[in-house]
Amino acid sequence: MISRERVNNTLNHEIPDKVPLDFGGNQTGIHIKSYKKLIDYLEIEDNELNTYDYVQQLAAPCEELLERFNIDTRYIRPLGGMVKISDFEPEYEGKYVGVYDQFGCFWGNDANKDLDEILYYDPVIHPFESFRTVQEIRNFEWPDGKDESSFEGLREYARKLYDTTDYTLVSAPTGCIYEYTTFLFGFTNALKYLKKKPELIEAAMEGLLKYWIDYNITFLNEVGEYLDVLCINGDLAEQSGPIMDLKTYERVIKPFEKKLSDKVHKLTDIKINYHCCGSIPQFIPHFAEIKYDAVNPVQISAFDMEPCSLKDRFGKIITFWGGLCNTQNTLPFGTPEQIRMEVKRNFKCLKPGGGFVAANIHNITAEVPAENIVAMFDAANEFRDY
């Protein structure tokens, strides 16, 4: 099978010739420091060394590396990404150094650090932090989702990839509803308001939904005919389980996320890969109802995320996208043989019947040894045949 068929088959819960492999997305990527070590280890030259996600400091893997690992996906990324950074020159705000996004969130780190020491940037200044009323949120100067400047040249790039390669074309994240309220209000405030003043969270999600619908209309008008998979973000859980009770999720958050999914599916015949870290079994039936086709990153180290159990319970209703090797423990601290055996076990659980796209569990962090990354993808290639 060609890559496009392989991924499509597995997303339709049909058995392809091999488990599809993904690498290089915004949640299946690699930190620039780790990337430099990896290409040096493999004696691969990358004269561009592009960082496509400033906040997470992710490197764009070069074609030679993607071919070395037999990766089935290639990414279509608007300029600046979901967290749109208009100026990549870091600026200083008090004790922080960082950048502003299109919503006015400041993604920063310790201003006393050298920039080369900073591994990533967190949302540290929140534009809604002082807001106490719905009217303040509605009066906010929301960014324009119809702005086409991020998509300049993207149609030609996507068309060339589609016409000249067989790869599955995947978008960068094109939406984020509840999770972005935690950036706008601050994480603690967003959870507090979700419980005590849900009307504030709903007002913020109304603004976000409008922005992301406009964004997706504009984006898909440009490249929708070439895309196979569209990514949406929405972290709702932590290691031990959901960060809110399920009734609140169903009543307040789910309707907004469903509206975005419905709009995407109405605009184009495309699969949705939804990103949600942590322990998510309680959400998966809802994700299927919302018509998410896949869920990423399949954080097997979190509570109740044992791969065989996940596959037994939910393998018929959703595709697992990720799940390759424990990124928190085994990948950074294990031996190549331990990594190989873990990949083998995870494939044994998640592979049967299709419905599994293998990828690193979230992004490969800066401390991971190059030989461990190679061991993970070599093992994936060893065990991927059906």
Identify the pLDDT of residue 90.
Answer: 87
Number of domains in the chain: 1
Return phi, psi of residue 175, to 5°.
180, 155
Q: Is residue 60 part of a domain?
A: yes
Interval 145-191: pLDDT, tens: 999 988 999 999 999 999 999 999 999 999 999 999 999 999 999 99
pLDDT at residue 285 in the model? 98
Confidence at residue 87, expressed as pLDDT on a 0 to 100 scale: 63
Count H helices, E strands: the chain?
15, 16
Specify the amino acid at residue 106.
Answer: F
Question: The domain spanning residue 334 has which CATH number?
Answer: 3.20.20.210
Q: What tens-digit pLDDT sequence spans the chain (386 residues)?
A: 999 999 999 999 999 999 999 999 999 999 999 999 999 999 999 988 888 898 999 999 999 999 999 999 999 998 777 777 766 678 999 999 999 999 999 999 999 999 999 999 999 999 999 999 999 999 999 999 999 988 999 999 999 999 999 999 999 999 999 999 999 999 999 999 999 999 999 999 999 999 999 999 999 999 999 999 999 999 999 999 999 999 999 999 999 999 999 999 999 999 999 999 999 999 999 999 999 999 999 999 999 999 999 999 999 999 999 999 999 999 999 999 999 999 999 999 999 999 999 999 999 999 999 999 999 999 999 999 99
Burial pattern 287-312, b for ≥16 Cβ within 10 A else e, equals beebebbbbbbbbbebeebebeebbe
Which residues touch 39 (CB under 8 Å, ≥6 apart)? Answer: 45, 46, 62, 65
How many Å apart are CA 103 and CA 219, to the nearest integer? Answer: 18
- For residue 109, is it within any domain? no
Asked whether residue 93 is assigned to any structural domain, the reply reads no
Residue 103 lies inside a defined structural domain of this protein = no
* Domain annotation covers residue 225: yes
Within a domain: 342: yes
- Whole-angstrom CA distances from 138 to 170, 192, 198, 200 are 33, 20, 15, 10
pLDDT digits (tens, 9 = 90+) for 293-308: 999 999 999 999 999 9
Domain that holds residue 175: 3-84+129-383
Q: What is the DSSP string of 46-95?
A: -SS--EEETTTTEE---HHHHHHTT--EEEE--TT-SS--S--S-EEETT
Give yes or no for a cis peptide into 297 (omega within 30° of 0). Answer: yes
The confidence score (pLDDT) of residue 151 equals 92
Residue 100 domain-assigned? no
Q: Is residue 111 part of a domain?
A: no
pLDDT at 353: 96
- Alpha-carbon gap, residue 28 to 39, rounded angstroms: 17
